[in-house]
Amino acid sequence: MGDAMKVVKSLYFQILFAVLLGVLVGHFCSQQAIALKPLGDAFIKLIKMMIAPVVFCTIVTGIAGMSDKHSLGRLLSKTMLLFLALTVISLIIGLVAVYLFKPGVGMNIDPTQLSTKGLSQYTDSAAKLGVVEFFMHIIPDTFIGAFNKGEVLPVLFIAVLCGFALSAIGERGKPVLDVLESASHMVFKIFSYLMRFAPIGAFGALAFTVGQYGITSLGSLAKLIMTLYIACAFFVFVVLGSICRANGFSLWKLLRYLREEFLVVLGTSSTEPVMPRMLEKLQALGCKKGVVGLVLPTGYSFNLDGTAIYLSLAAVFIAQACNIELSLTQTVTMLAIMLLSSKGAAGVTGSGFVALASTLTVIHDIPLAGLALLIGIDRFMSEARALTSLASNAVATVVMSISENACDRETLMRTLDGKPSPAATPTQAQSENWDGLKVTEHV
């Protein structure tokens, strides 16, 4: 009886129950379910308000004591190369999947007859995307302005600058570092309170999705949806699984360890609500704060592998549906543009759909009106994109930690096996070094 109550009280069980209940309510009480949308929106807003302070405190305290500043540059270089490789692989997997299963063949769609109603919000956002605009957006208008919108990259930029500054001034910066350490404990405690509302948020978001679009709406384009999920599953279990095995840890155990976060993402179709908790849980795996604080937030903007799979798959699907044959040159050009557009849409609502609109706006070989084929089912596909990207960023963070000798292997293995880690002594907790990176922890 005690074990049963423990399971019922666990966040994992509560979120799983909420997700299933959301699907049932959305299907059988669709009108009432649509009115539940504010529950999901409110939960996401609650969590998003904590992202900027969590990221800032984690990164600043993680790199403030760095004596070897080259270690940061090396870490970022290796991380960006890994993200680039994973994105290229994702685009290719999406391309292979759509040509293998041919979900759009035989639809014989005339693009001139498609209704473009409802596309303007996405095409308007797509028109604002560009490489220069993307990088300019990283620089906030003011120091405090970086925190106004809760976007990751401007906060990341400010945090790195502050971390370097505190590192350079040494002992004079210790009072500031102590305040940020205390603030870090405070924001994570606030976040732990907010996560208690995760089941309610997941229930409201999923009930609205099913109620608004209906499970029956999946029928006509079920082959496309299944193709995306198969492609994403291949990427996660084959590509990421191989990377995990090569680095000596189990992908399945990592996914099991993060199961609560995946359920939240499944319910909300967004990875943002779990970022603070991901930062905390990856550190609990034995990964050093400095590495986790840099790699994970960066991955949220530069490693959207689920979106990359969706881009190449959806674009060719539209071409197949409209009986358009793409040449090898057109395909390669399209993939090159997607490599950039998948990054530029980071932080934009409906980022995958916006990135696809941005790509089609540039290449002109595939009709932009073809997006109308996808708009009704995009929410169901966004779940696969978000889950895949979250898994990829979790794996990348652990791999980078191992690569930089910034991961306690014993803690990693014991935690993934579900065994309690031995308590660290005060001496160990006060001084952890990663290539000259000294992280001060208060015990």
Report residue 291: phi and psi, to 5°: -75, -50
Give the whole-angstrom CA distance, residue 302 versus residue 315. 20
Predicted pLDDT of residue 150: 64
pLDDT for 161 beyond 90:
no
Report residue 428's pLDDT band, with 50, 70 and 90 as the boundaries.
very low
Name which of 74-83, 274-283, 427-436 the model is least confident about: 427-436
Stated length of the chain? 443
Please indicate whether residue 426 or residue 70 has the higher confidence score (pLDDT): 70
**String of b and e for 311-346 (b: at least 16 CB within 10 Å)?**
bbbbbbbbbbbbebebeeebbeebbebbbbbbbbbb
Predicted pLDDT of residue 301: 78
Chain mean pLDDT for the chain: 78
Q: Of the ranges 58-62, 76-80, 365-369, 424-428, which is most confident? A: 76-80
Please report, to the nearest 10 degrees, the dihedral formed by the alpha carbons of residues 289, 293, 294, 299 taken in order: 130
pLDDT for 169 beyond 70:
yes
pLDDT for 128 beyond 70:
no
The residue extents of the domains of the chain are 2-419
Predicted pLDDT of residue 5: 66
Please indicate whether residue 137 or residue 194 has the higher confidence score (pLDDT): 194
The amino acid that residue 232 corresponds to is C
Please indicate whether residue 134 or residue 411 has the higher confidence score (pLDDT): 411
Predicted pLDDT of residue 8: 67
Distance between start and end Cα atoms, the chain:
36
**Mean pLDDT value across residues 257-262:** 90
SS (H, E, C) 294-330: HHHHHHHHHCCHHHHHHHHHHHHHHHHHCCCCCCHHH
CATH 1.10.150.120 fits 2-419, yes or no: no
Report residue 434's pLDDT band, with 50, 70 and 90 as the boundaries.
very low
Give the whole-angstrom CA distance, residue 243 versus residue 245. 6
pLDDT for 443 beyond 50:
no
Task: Kindly report, residue by residue over 203-250, the tens digit of the pLDDT.
Answer: 887 788 777 766 655 555 788 889 999 999 999 999 999 999 999 999
Report residue 440's pLDDT band, with 50, 70 and 90 as the boundaries.
very low
**Mean pLDDT value across residues 123-132:** 52
**Mean pLDDT value across residues 350-367:** 73
Task: Kindly report, residue by residue over 282-311, the tens digit of the pLDDT.
Answer: 999 999 888 888 888 888 878 889 989 999
Q: Of the ranges 10-19, 52-61, 80-89, 152-161, which is most confident? A: 80-89
Predicted pLDDT of residue 241: 95
**String of b and e for 275-292 (b: at least 16 CB within 10 Å)?**
bbbbbebbbebbbbbbbb
pLDDT for 391 beyond 60:
yes
Please indicate whether residue 273 or residue 135 has the higher confidence score (pLDDT): 273
**Mean pLDDT value across residues 176-200:** 83
- DSSP secondary structure letters along 206-234: HHHHHHHH-GGGGSTTHHHHHHHHHHHHH
- Percentage of the chain with pLDDT > 70? 79
Give the whole-angstrom CA distance, residue 58 versus residue 288. 11
